[in-house]
Amino acid sequence: MRSISLLVSLLFAFMATTHAFELASLEARKDRNATRSGGDPTKMACKQMQKLTSLTTLAANQTKLDELVAKGKLDTAKVDELKKKAAEATTKLQTMSSNSTLTSECAAIQAKSQMKQACGQMKRLERMAKLANNATAMADFAAKRNLTSTQMDNLKKKAQGSDAKLKVLEANTTLTDFCKQNKQAKQPDGTTAAGAAASGAPQQAATSDATRVQDMLKTMSYVLGSTVLGAMFLLL
């Protein structure tokens, strides 16, 4: 009778250990998924504010709405629905805009985003300027893209105007310094060196620890399982 009680205890211990490991693994996966999502509440709120602003701006622009209706992209029913949503968005936007901390952080995020876009524009203008000053490169580009004479003329006009636009952007030392720092901070894969080191090390450590625990529990499960089977064999 005592042997049977011991056997039952071993069975419950084995089941509890296995179930606990499954729950721990599930929670660990949830934590990793939450970390990988990188959901920044402030950035999400700023993005929502931007969408609400775009919606209310469009709804207030009757000329643009008429243009979209004329092109068949919207009809009267959709315009009415859009204006209704815009009215609701206005209320939400007013509430969010009353948060001075949020609006200041959103302004900083928006400014950084615009600076990055300006950096990209500078790169494109630099390429266009080089193309405009190199007749051979211009001809090769036109041949590869199979450009028509009209397209070629338009390209030349854009290339010629790129010098003036590029000089205006390059005169902004704040912008040029930001572009240099942003370029230096990035690795070839587009990630920052500091960010890769900070996020990679903890994740590798967590993965290594989880693997060791998993292997240990598998071994324990095997030993416990063998013990239980052996005990059952002796009782039969």
Q: Is residue 230 part of a domain?
A: yes
User: Token pair for residue 159?
Assistant: 């290339």
Tell me: the pLDDT tens digits for 89-142?
999 999 999 999 999 999 999 999 999 999 999 999 998 888 888 888 888 888
Q: Tell me the H-state helices in 133-192.
A: 135-145, 149-170, 173-185
Q: Are 47 and 17 contained in the same domain?
A: no
Q: Are 83 and 139 contained in the same domain?
A: no
Tell me: the pLDDT tens digits for 151-185?
988 888 888 888 888 999 999 999 999 999 988 88
Q: Is residue 49 part of a domain?
A: yes
Q: Is residue 198 part of a domain?
A: no
Q: Is residue 130 part of a domain?
A: yes
Domain count for the chain: 3
Q: Are 123 and 180 contained in the same domain?
A: yes
Give every CB contact of residue 129 below 8 A, 6+ residues apart in sequence: 159, 162, 163, 166
Q: Are 45 and 25 contained in the same domain?
A: no
Q: Is residue 164 part of a domain?
A: yes
Q: Are 134 and 166 contained in the same domain?
A: yes
pTM summary value:
0.52
Q: Is residue 47 part of a domain?
A: yes
Q: Are 125 and 180 contained in the same domain?
A: yes
Residue 87 is part of which domain span? 39-98
Q: How confident is the model at residue 228 (pLDDT cuts 50, 70, 90)?
A: very low
Cross-strand pairs, 186:
192
Would you put residue 59 in left (φ > 0), alpha (ψ -120 to 50) or beta?
A: alpha
Q: Are 130 and 159 contained in the same domain?
A: yes
Q: Is residue 51 part of a domain?
A: yes
Q: Are 178 and 220 contained in the same domain?
A: no
Q: Is residue 55 part of a domain?
A: yes
- What does the alpha-carbon distance between residue 89 and residue 76 come to, in Å, rounded to a whole number? 20
